[in-house]
Homo-oligomer: A and B are copies of this chain.
Amino acid sequence: MTVNIGIVGVGGMGQAHVARIRTELAGGRIAAVNDIDQARAERVAAPLGAAVYADDAQLVAAPEVDAVLVASFGPAHEATVTAAIAAGKPVLCEKPLAPTAAGCVRIMEAEARAGAKVVTVGFMRRFDRGYNEIKEAIAAGELGRPLIVHNRHRNPTVPQSYTADMAINDTAIHEIDTMRWLLGEEIAAVRVDQPRPTSRRFPHLADPLVLALVTESGVIAYDEVFVNIQYAYDIRCEVVLEAGTVALADQSATVRRDAAGARHRLTADHNQRFGQAFAAELQAWINAVAAGRQTGPTAWDGYAAAAVCDAGLRALASGGLEPVELIAKPALYA
């Protein structure tokens, strides 16, 4: 059975998903396309023989659409996702599920009314081979309990349009979800340190930042967020347990020895670093849709990440440790 997918938003991320579904993954096809730029929607749809809908609600409702993939602008997510919930169609929504925790709560309420989980949030790192090996090593228990995590989220440069809040909401959100998933508990408080800023930044940014994410049990996950570090897209994570550590390795397939030393390449961007994870995430979702199951991060995960981001923004302003305020977990996600 082939899963017929309607995609909402075919900018860079959306088109990357389209390409994966068409040339790399099993079991799915793009049946319908919607974009705020109608001409772009048509350009993407044409070679696929996919329908084009001017309106995301129409796309969600279209009978040929089995499942919905949301890769539009963050503020537009809530409307599409709640339409999919109402239609009872599985929906994979890129992060953030909604830009605020309040929006995520409304999505959870919609799922509660519908009585079924159909939402998957696109936190692709949960499908990264490295993070999964770390999770397995924690679970194995040989090294005891995790106590500290050291993360680095380094990015070569960001455009002028990148705002101070985005370091939390768009960048650190990945470690926020990954830490919740790796450690199996909620983040209870957040602090944001502002080291001396890079002189190669835009004046409106404080870059780098160092977050401290304190979990319910007291694990502290540090996260260096440095979005203009020039040299590479460099994601690192070391979990410190009671009797050892486990860390992400670099991803290079070769080592070179030349006049610059013994060296290996670092990844240039998130597509290169997480290409395997994006593909695995999408394949898992297609397989789950075909099997009638929900898979991956739920609306609760989207909500919890948003609530931590809210606390992070408060911490960025206050300089102190800010508590994360979570509603009681709805029964659907228990």
Binding site for B on A (CB under 8 A): 21-27, 128-130, 133-134, 137, 142-145, 147-148, 150, 193-200, 208, 210, 212, 217-220, 222, 224, 226, 229-232, 234, 240, 242-266, 283, 287
In the A-B complex, the 10 residue pairs with the smallest Cβ-Cβ separation, listed nearest first, are A263-B263, A244-B258, A196-B218, A130-B253, A230-B243, A261-B263, A195-B220, A133-B254, A129-B253, A198-B242
Partner of A249, one of B147, B199, B232, B264: B264
* Contact sample, A vs B, 6 pairs, CB 8 Å cutoff: A23-B26, A23-B27, A24-B25, A137-B256, A208-B240, A229-B243
B195 touching A218, Cβ below 8 Å: yes
| Residues in B whose Cβ lies below 8 Å from that of A150 | 150, 224
Give chain B nearest CB distance to A258 CB in angstroms. 3
- Contacts A26-B26, A199-B145 given; indicate if A193 touches B210 (C-beta within 8 A): no
Interface contact B262-A148, CB-CB below 8 Å: no
Complex Cα distance, B147 from A245, in Å, reads: 25
* A262 pairs with B250, CB closer than 8 A: yes
Chain B residues, CB < 8 A from A253: 128-130, 133, 248-249, 251
When distances are taken between beta carbons in the complex, the residues of chain B under 8 Å from A224 are 148, 150, 240
Nearest chain B CB to A281 CB, angstrom units: 13
Residues of B within 8 A of A147 (CB): 195-198, 208, 226
A31 to chain B, nearest CB (A): 15
Number of copies: 4
Given A258-B231, A261-B265, CB of A242 within 8 Å of CB of B133: no
Which single residue of chain B is at the shortest CB-CB distance from A244?
A: B258
CB pair A249 B248 closer than 8 Å: no
Interface-centre pick from A145, A210, A240, A246 (highest chain B CB count, 10 A): A240
Alpha-carbon gap, A244 to B229, bound state (A): 7
Q: Which of A130, A134, A195 has the most CB of B within 10 A?
A: A195
CA distance A244 to B251 in the complex (A): 18
Give A221's nearest chain B residue, CB to CB: B195
Residues of B within 8 A of A248 (CB): 253-255
Report the minimal beta-carbon distance from A277 to chain B, rounded to whole angstroms. 11
Query: Shortest distance in angstroms between A319's beta carbon and chain B's nearest beta carbon?
Result: 9
* Cβ contact of A232, chosen from B198, B212, B229, B257, cutoff 8 A: B257
- B26, B137, B250: the one contacting A22 at CB < 8 Å is B26
A250 to B240 alpha-carbon distance, docked (Å): 17
The answer, among B22, B246, B262, B263, for a CB contact under 8 Å with A254, is B246
A280 to chain B, nearest CB (A): 9
Q: Most B CB atoms within 10 A — which of A196, A250, A264?
A: A196
A53 to B234, alpha carbons, bound, how many Å?
Answer: 52
Q: How far is the CA of A208 from the CA of B129 in the complex (A)?
A: 29
Q: How close is A109's CB to chain B, nearest CB, in angstroms? A: 34
Q: What residue of chain B has the Cβ atom nearest to residue A215's Cβ?
A: B196
Q: Are B254 and A247 in contact (CB under 8 A)?
A: yes
